[in-house]
Structure 1
Amino acid sequence: MKIIKKIAIWLGLSILMMILWVAGLMIGNMVFPSGLMEMETDSDGAAGFMFFLVSALNAGIILKLIYKARFTGWKLLGNVLLVSFGIQYFMSQIETVWFNDSLGLPGNGIAAIVLGGAFTLIAFSVIAVWITGKFKSEPDNSNDTVRFRFSFKKIVLLSAVIWPLIYFAFGYFVAWQFEDVRLLYSGTTEIDSLVEIMKANIQSGLYLFQIFRGFLWIFIGILVLRMVGGTKISSGILLGLLFTILGSSGLLLPNPVMPEMVRLAHLLETSTSSFLWGFIIAWTLWQPATENN
């Protein structure tokens, strides 16, 4: 019966996510008028199915985080909001701002996305925490003796070396292999060597920007690791799925900013690299401290 109840909650929250997503876009566009509501539609219902699929994936992974969390009440709600909004909207939109010369998204459009996303996730998180009973239930103190130490040296290594390595490797060997991607961001279909591209990335400041993003990703990862129990592997899988689903599933939907092949290239690039990155963060930083520590 518990499984049936959880499935029913998931399906109900998936539909709720769809409604709140549309409502969030409408609110965002009312406050910051833009053309974001002019999305492509598909008369055969394929777009509607994809929208439900994306909503179900997002609702499902947030629910998984809530169920695994040791926190309850407002502490749980605050952490769920920070994690979900941070991954789905903040981390993606600061990169949109960086590349906006190529994407051409109006400032009002970015503001509308952020405001609409905040509305959607605040409303969804409140209802999800309430409907799962986590507002009233007692916190799980079974792992209180298991403390976590996060090495600053490891954090610097991850953000300054590992994350840029993953980001630029997947960017070049996956996304940059698509002609449409090269044309959008460089204005030409010519493909330079990785060395030449990295020189340009360092000169433009993109490498430093990704170090900054690496620190932010790790901050989100630490929030998740402090929230949930489980083993190093299970925590790594959860964090990888959070990064992948919340950060990349929106690319399953057509959007007015990216051409079709660019969207699909970024979907392939980010869905794979994000899972790997999330797993590496958990694997590297998950370190239960012994009583002697």
Structure 2
Amino acid sequence: MKAVAVFAVRVVVLTVVLIIAFMIASNVAGMAQAPVSSAQAATPTAQASLPSAQAVSTPTSQAQQAAALLGPLLVYTFLVSAVIAWIIQRSRWRGLKLIAALVFTFYGLMTCISQIETIAYLRGKMPPGLIEKLFVMGAIVALLFVPLAVLIMGKIRGPEQPHVERGLTLKSQVARFVILALVYVVLYYLFGYYVAWQNPDLRLYYAGTMELKSFYQQILSVVTGTPWMLPFQFGRGLLWVLFAYPVIRMLNTRRIETAGIVAALFGVGSFVLLLPNPLMPASIAHSHFWETLGCDLLLGAIVSWVLTADARLIA
């Protein structure tokens, strides 16, 4: 019981630390002066910058926006902090090794995954320099938050816990990464179509029409109209696996708990879509939330389950 209480207190402290890290990073990266466009609203990391963006000009509307933002922001930062605390608590790594691995994973999943999609789809619609600022902001948050999280969780010092491991051949590792990237592409389009695309408001928002084509017709239009999308999403799938790999390696947990941790790590970023966004209708943001939450939770569990099959001898 005491251990649970201590863990809960640490998560609360980490939540405060993460909010402060966002505030500092936003100002250092110049996000407070960055204009916000509707294109930005389509990406989770961009939405995370909205609290500091000058989207409104009157004190009254700013106060209303801040009040509407507070609850979802607390939920988002609390959940992120809880997942990171869970990872650190169950990690067998310590010190700089743990910090470096988590900075890599945190920055990759919270910033790179979403912003490379922004570059591919929306760069021409965004103000000059904004994407660069988003990458800088994400890096600053990772560099500020992760070391403090490791310190607060008491994993700065101490011996690395022993574990039983059998090596994977390079061929086996590459095969698993490729298979998982293909799994991501399948999940991406299945959830995109059967969850998000079922919302007529969302179809009108992105395609300019409420017409609902069949899944086959929709995929065919992707393949013929934008053939680069499939290899691009395959590359993003490889990145999902790459950013998860250090966490899977560091955990000293049973296979089922590892799957739960990685699923939570993948899925927690979706909650940023619940932040109030005056530039994206709530209906569309909520459709994206359920789309990404379901897809990322399932992907995280599959990635973990596949990579732990041979990585360690787990009871």
Under a length normalisation based on structure 2, what TM-score does the superposition of the two structures give? 0.83
**Partner residue, 2:114:** 92
- Aligned equivalents of 1:105 and 1:254: distance in 2? 20
CA contact (8 A) 2:262 2:301 kept: yes
The alpha-carbon deviation at position 112 of structure 1 amounts to: 2.1
Unmatched segments (≥5 aa) in structure 2: 37-49, 56-61
Distance 1:228 1:32, change over 3 A: farther
In 2: Cα distance, 1:211 partner to 1:107 partner: 28
Give, in angstroms, the shift of residue 76 of structure 1.
0.3
Q: Shift of the alpha carbon at 1:210? A: 0.8
- Residue by residue, what CA displacement relative to the aligned partner does 1:41-84 show, whole Å, maximum 9, x if unpaired? 63693421211111111111111111111111111001111111
Structure 1 residues 134 and 101 mapped into 2: Cα distance closer, same or farther (>3 Å)?
closer
Shift of the 148–54 alpha-carbon distance from structure 1 to 2, 3 Å rule, reads farther
- Partner amino acid for 1:70? R
**Quick one: distance in 1 between partners of 2:213 and 2:143?**
44
1:9 corresponds to 2:10? yes
Indicate the larger mover: 37-46 or 280-289: 37-46
Aligned mates of 1:237, 1:269 — CA distance in 2: 19
SS of match in other structure, 2:159: coil
Q: SS where residue 287 of structure 1 aligns?
A: helix
Equivalence for 2:54:
38
Cα deviation per residue 1:213-272 (whole Å; 9 max; x = unaligned)? Answer: 111111122222111121221111111100000x31211102355332221111010001
Partner of 2:165: 146
Number of the residue aligned with 1:110: 131
Distance of 1:289 and 1:220 partners within structure 2: 16
| 2:185 matched residue in structure 1 | 164
Give the number of equivalent residue pairs: 286
How many Å apart are 1:289 and its aligned residue? 6.0
1:184 maps to: 205
Q: Is 1:254–2:270 an aligned residue pair?
A: no
Task: Indicate the SS of the match to 1:174.
Answer: helix
- Alignment-derived partner of residue 141 in structure 2: 120
Identity %: 27
3-state SS of the aligned residue for 2:130?
A: helix
Distance 1:31 1:47, change over 3 A: closer
Task: Encode CA deviations 1:150-206: one digit per residue, 9 max, x unaligned.
Answer: 54323222212x111110000000000112221222122212221121122223111
Deviates more, 1:182-191 or 1:26-35: 26-35
Secondary structure in structure 2 of the residue aligned to 1:42 = helix
Q: Larger deviation: 192-201 or 149-158?
A: 149-158
- Are 1:217 and 2:218 matched, yes or no? no
Pair 1:41–1:65, CA change in 2 (3 A): farther
**Given residue 20 of structure 2, which amino acid in structure 1 is its aligned partner?**
I
Shift, 1:106, TM fit:
2.7
Deviation at 1:3, TM superposition (A): 2.5
CA offset at residue 11 of structure 1? 0.7
C-alpha spacing 1:70/1:260, structure 2 compared with 1 (3 Å): same
- In terms of mean alpha carbon deviation, does 105-114 or 70-79 score higher? 105-114
Rounded to whole Å, the distance in 2 between the matches of 1:140 and 1:49 is: 38
**Is 2:151 aligned against 1:135?**
no
1:17-96 residue pairs with structure 2 within 5 A? 17-29=18-30, 33-35=34-36, 36=50, 37-38=53-54, 42=64, 45-96=67-118
Distance 1:290 1:241 in 2: 21
* Match status 1:263 vs 2:282: no
- TM-score normalized with structure 1 length: 0.89
- Contact 2:105–2:247 (CA under 8 A) maintained in structure 1: yes
Report the residue type matching 1:146 in the other structure. E
Distance 1:290 1:186, change over 3 A: closer
- Unaligned runs of 5+ residues in structure 1 are none
Selected match of 2:267 from 231, 244, 256: 244
What's the counterpart of residue 177 of structure 2?
155
Q: 2:302 aligned with 1:280, yes or no?
A: yes
Q: Distance in 2 between matches of 1:290 and 1:168?
A: 32
